[in-house]
Amino acid sequence: MMDIGAGITTGTAELREATKMERIGVHSHITGLGLDDRLEPRPNSQGMVGQLRARKAAGVILRLLSPSSFSSSTVSAAPGLSGRAILLAGPPSTGKTAIARGMAATLGPDVPFTSITASEVYSLSMSKTEALTQALRRSIGVRIREEEEIVEGEVVEIVVERGITGSGKSGRVILKTTDMETVYEMGGKMIDEMTKEKVLAGDIISITKSSGRITKLGRSFSHSRDFSLLSPSTTFLPTPSGEILTRRTVTHTVSLHEIDIINSRTQGFLALFAGDTGEVAAPLRAQIDVKVGEWREEGKAELVTGVLFIDEVHMLDMECFSFLNRALEGELAPLVVMASNRGVARIRGTEMRGPHGLPPDLLDRLLIVATSKYVPDEVRQIIKIRCQEEDVEVGPDAEDLLVEIAGDAGMRYALGLIAVSQVVARKRVKSSGGGSEAVEVEDLRRAEVCWWKRSQGVKTYCRDRVIKWMLCSESSSKVLYLNRSQRVSPFTYTSQTGILISKKEVQDSAPVRGQAGFQNESSVRGHLHAFLPWIEYSGVPRRLMSASQRYVSAAYDLHLYA
């Protein structure tokens, strides 16, 4: 563990050991924002399709944050800025998270990117503001420069001697450069490291003096004829020149949050791997901020402003919003990118409604980037990219159908069908004893039977709610028969509406007859919540639980608005 001073450590050695596992994820096809050097969006690049204006806006914002992310760019770089916030706003499945992923991929390798969903802040183990503080501090990097002493040279000889009892070992290694040769004594730990790395005479190695870490750089050209010791991946290098012991500057980037946890007495750095880091005491954070400030003044460290992405931001409540307002004004604030698919929605923790479920004072601070629905050609391209990513072959007719399904039931549903229909296609080939495994229309149709669309789910939801209400004797709700149409009885439409009730059950629930007004017709048709501003015998507004198509029957709540 590296100790920079005054007991504050950064633990970079352990952190660098962590490896990442790659897999095909929902956004794994996205490798950037698909912009050219002038920050102009290409129609289809780096896995991103369409949303040209939003992608360009995201690119410009990143430029403000991290000029170095566009090192090849011809656009002049602005100084790094922090504490900015943007809101990606648009309907579901229009690529808000995808754009955030593209931003993350565009940032330099040591620029931190943290992604959370707003509902993650609600936890029993820590307060909402602590969860947000940790997320914000994860998104600020501290780039630390250190001088390291390195021993680098070609191994001339390794000698290991064991004690008479066989327990203790000691030894020496002779290293050379073109200019000098030196003998180094080795203890047991160093010998173990050498054995682990399989170091032999003729290898070119470097040893970090502070940690004793050995890195095998390759084999010397002078040993290129030792065929028995060569593998296809062997790298040949010339014997190094100059001094064996050299100094070089190394740079590590760790996040403020990692420094907090490593220095927290109750947590320790292992908590970083467990994920559950618990709360960090405020005085410790203040101490770390002061120390980082000192390192900056001494030129040992610099701050790297990263990105915090908060998906579904409308799920945050008023307490979180006011905390964010203040946090964004702090010196150690990252770029905060929020996303919401809500239009006007209730601001959690209040009775007020606001655009995207956000309070006006936070909205004032945001740059809003809108995403819009895709045209069928863009949907087709996204589907093609995903098929390639998931390694699924789809026939031309099936591709047309997928585009149609995406328009009808949403992009996510169509993308979800790709992998599923491949399994169906494979089963078809197996049972018919041969044929192409490419997904065909019939495979998609079969997959559709098993996986419901959103609209089917809504119908079942409403049906379940209505049945529950009907069978509950103490329910505060009532059924209202509107009888607007003389042509139909209330039960003619049960299969269409999904309200699977028998005539008897409805009669048992003592319905009220009358007329009613509907505030929102589309909600009524879709069997969602809506208002009944009036019903025939009462001017008191009610909450509508569910209604059949053509307004023949409706279930409403008596108490809520009485």
Ligand X SMILES: Nc1ncnc2c1ncn2[C@@H]1O[C@H](COP(=O)(O)OP(=O)(O)OP(=O)(O)O)[C@@H](O)[C@H]1O
Given the rule CB under 6 A, which residues bind ligand X? 26-27, 30, 47-51, 92-98, 339, 341, 382, 411-412, 415
Least separation in angstroms between CB 458 and ligand X: 16
Least separation in angstroms between CB 440 and ligand X: 23
Least separation in angstroms between CB 508 and ligand X: 41
- What is the Cα–Cα distance from 246 to 268, expressed in whole angstroms? 33
Least separation in angstroms between CB 180 and ligand X: 56
Q: How far is CA 503 from each of CA 496, 511, 550, rounded to the nearest angstrom?
A: 16, 12, 18
Q: Given the complex with ligand X, which of 50 and 334 has the nearer CB atom?
A: 50
At 301 the three-state DSSP class reads strand
Q: Given the complex with ligand X, which of 327 and 414 has the nearer CB atom?
A: 414
Least separation in angstroms between CB 111 and ligand X: 21
- What is the Cα–Cα distance from 54 to 60, expressed in whole angstroms? 10
- What is the Cα–Cα distance from 3 to 233, expressed in whole angstroms? 36
Residue nearest to ligand X (CB): 95
Q: Given the complex with ligand X, which of 53 and 513 has the nearer CB atom?
A: 53
Contacts of 305 (CB under 8 A, 6+ apart): 65, 66, 80, 81, 82, 111, 140, 141, 333, 334, 335
Number of alpha carbons in the 13 Å side-chain half-sphere of residue 122:
9
Q: Given the complex with ligand X, which of 12 and 51 has the nearer CB atom?
A: 51
Which string of b and e fits 142-159 if b means at least 16 CB within 10 Å?
bebebeeebbbbbbeebe
Least separation in angstroms between CB 28 and ligand X: 8
Do residues 338 and 310 touch, judged by C-beta distance below 8 A?
A: yes
Least separation in angstroms between CB 412 and ligand X: 5
Q: Given the complex with ligand X, which of 113 and 556 has the nearer CB atom?
A: 113
Q: Look at the block and give the residue holding tokens 């590590």.
A: 252
Q: Given the complex with ligand X, which of 53 and 326 has the nearer CB atom?
A: 53
Q: What is the sign of the dihedral through the CA atoms of 451, 455, 457 and 459?
A: negative
Q: Given the complex with ligand X, which of 13 and 370 has the nearer CB atom?
A: 370
Least separation in angstroms between CB 30 and ligand X: 6
- What is the Cα–Cα distance from 478 to 547, expressed in whole angstroms? 12
Instruction: Please list the alpha-helical segments (H only) found in 351-475.
Output: 360-365, 376-389, 396-409, 411-432, 441-450, 454-471
Please report, as a single letter, which amino acid is at residue 57: A
Q: Given the complex with ligand X, which of 40 and 298 has the nearer CB atom?
A: 40
Do residues 328 and 132 touch, judged by C-beta distance below 8 A?
A: no
